[in-house]
Amino acid sequence: MKKRLLCLMGIVFAAACITGCQQKDPEPGDVAGYDEGEEYLSIWVHSIEDTEEGQAYKESVESFNEAYDGQYFADIEFVPRNDSGGGYSDKVNASVMAGGLPDVLTVDGPNISAYAANGIIQPLADLTEEEESEYLPSIIEQGTVNDELYALGVMESSVGFYYNKDIIEEAGIEIPDADDSWTWSEFLDILEELKPLMDEKDGYPLDMTFPVGETSIYYFAPFVWSGGGELVSDDGLTVDGYFNSDQTKAAMEFFRTVVENEYMSEAPIDHLFESGRAAFKFDGAWEVNTVYTSYPDLNLGVAPYVVSDDWDGEAYTPTGSWAFAASSETENIEGATELVKWMSGVDSGIRIWEMTKNFPSTYEAFENIDVFQTDENYSALYEQLSNYGHPRPKTPVYPQVSTCFQEVLESVALNGKDVDGELDKAVERIDQKLERYTRE
């Protein structure tokens, strides 16, 4: 008898374990600030509460609750993630299966297509033209899938093509204007010219690597785009003819030339550029802040991103960051859209810049931050972003595209493998993953 009782207790305990994980919207009064008559909106962010970024989101949510007092109440939950985004996406994946997605959640830019294609997020309620025009074009472009706007980011990112002013001056080289970038051929000549000088300094003309992870496609896909190429088709469902196009091939071969002529080190050397042993470097916009705070002696400049010889003025420079989207489970799309707009709006953008030094996503925010007017490097990055920003490929199989891009780059540029063979192999691999979306 008692045995049965114990068994029963065990089952109850197990059931409690399972149901304990499932969330239900609280009643007014359960959460501080949530009053009678307000509509409840839950929001997940991908950072830890103790970080600057987490605090910025928290403050934005608090100001939302003040502004919409009596109408909406937003409740923020911090979901920590590891470097590759694991913890956060695990939780999202689990909720997709078990239910319990919040009203609003953050999504990494390149994942928006996959989330939209699989019905995890839904299009936002219509924005007015004026509201849309507040955002940088790259942000709208990143959040749009099949002509519908799904997500708006509070931050935008960019990659700078940095140079060491002292070295460039010593070599007597002139940096071109923003709309008149060096083409690959011109840039190769410059690298050749710099080679002897940099050998003297025990360095390389270029501080560049092709690391595993998101970095490679983020920094170097612009070389494909500036030649008029794309990595995937517009609908994101075809790669054959895109990923293995002549433009991609040309970009890969350009990198091989750079490696073969020893304009860069094959194995990464730490702080090569920062220690004055490289003339150029591609790096995220955060590099400006790093140099200003940690390497004050380095005379930093931002040159326009190098373009293909075939460039005719189209957008091509790196962009993309985490954005806010409304989950498919929300029944209050109007409220969720208000929250998304608020979280990505001007004030939130200025806050994210002040607390984390991430670029904001609206024109007005940039105009209200002094350094984008006064500092030549920051203003150059802003100009590049607003005039030439190009989002990463929009396809539901983005992770595979990103991985393949890095692999091809590494095997062609560093290991000297046949570019056609590698690109075709990659296309085959991506096609396999696309089957899920194309077989119907």
Partner 1 sequence: MKKKNSIMGMAFFGPALVLLTLFLFLPMLLTFGFSFTDYFALNPELTHFVGLENYLNIFKDDLFVQSFFNTVKFVVIIVPLQCGGALLLALAINKAAHCKKYFKVAFFVPVVMSLAVVSTLWMQIYSPEGILNTLLANFGIDAQPFIYSAGQALPSIAIMSVWQGVGYQMIIFLGGLQNINPALYEAAEMDHASGWQKFKDITLPELKPLCVFVFITVTIGAFRMLVQPMVMTGGGPDHSTYTIVYDIYETGTVNWEMGLASTMAIVFTVFVVILTIIQNVLTKDKEERKHGNKKAKAN
Query: Which residues contact partner 1 (rule: CB under 8 A)?
Result: 2-3, 6, 9-10, 13-14, 17-18, 84, 86, 89-90, 93, 96-97, 114-115, 118-120, 211-213, 265-270, 397, 399-400, 403, 407, 410-411, 414-415, 433, 436
Residue with structure tokens 């984008």? 372
Q: ∠164-165-171 over CA atoms, to 5°?
A: 95
Comparing CB distances to partner 1, the nearer of 121 and 350 is: 121
**What is the CB neighbour count within 10 angstroms for residue 417?**
16
- Shortest Å distance, C-beta 324 to partner 1: 18
Tell me whether residue 134 or residue 410 sits nearer to partner 1 (CB atom).
Answer: 410
| Pairing mode, strands 155-156 and 204-207 | unpaired
Kindly state the tokens that stand for 337: 């859209």
User: What tokens does 120 get?
Assistant: 């995890």
Nearer to partner 1 by C-beta: 104 or 401? Answer: 401
Q: Please name the amino acid found at residue 152.
A: L
Q: How far is the CB of 142 from partner 1 (least distance, A)?
A: 19
Q: Which residue's CB is nearer to partner 1, number 139 or number 272?
A: 272
Widest pairwise Cα distance in the chain? 93
Query: Of 114 and 194, which has the nearer Cβ to partner 1?
Result: 114
Q: Are 285 and 320 within 8 A, CB to CB? A: no
Angle among Cα 108, 208, 319 to the nearest 5 degrees reads: 25
Residues constituting the chain: 440
Q: What's the min distance (Å) between Cβ of 158 and partner 1? A: 24
DSSP 8-state code for residue 415 = T
- Least distance from partner 1 to the Cβ atom of residue 399, Å: 5
Q: Which is nearer to partner 1, 58 or 425 (CB)?
A: 425
CB of 213 to partner 1, least distance (A): 6
Smallest distance from partner 1 to CB 17, Å: 6
Query: 121 - beta bridge partners?
Result: 327
The nearest distance, CB 267 to partner 1, in angstroms, is 4
Residue pair 258/208 in contact by the 8 Å Cβ criterion = yes
Residue closer to partner 1, measured from CB, 81 or 390: 81
* Contact predicate 255/231, CB 8 Å: no
339, 41 Cβ separation under 8 angstroms: yes
Q: In terms of CB distance, is 118 or 133 closer to partner 1?
A: 118
Alpha-carbon distance values, 35 to 40, 73, 74, 75, 333 (Å): 9, 8, 11, 12, 20
* Shortest Å, Cβ 11 to partner 1: 8
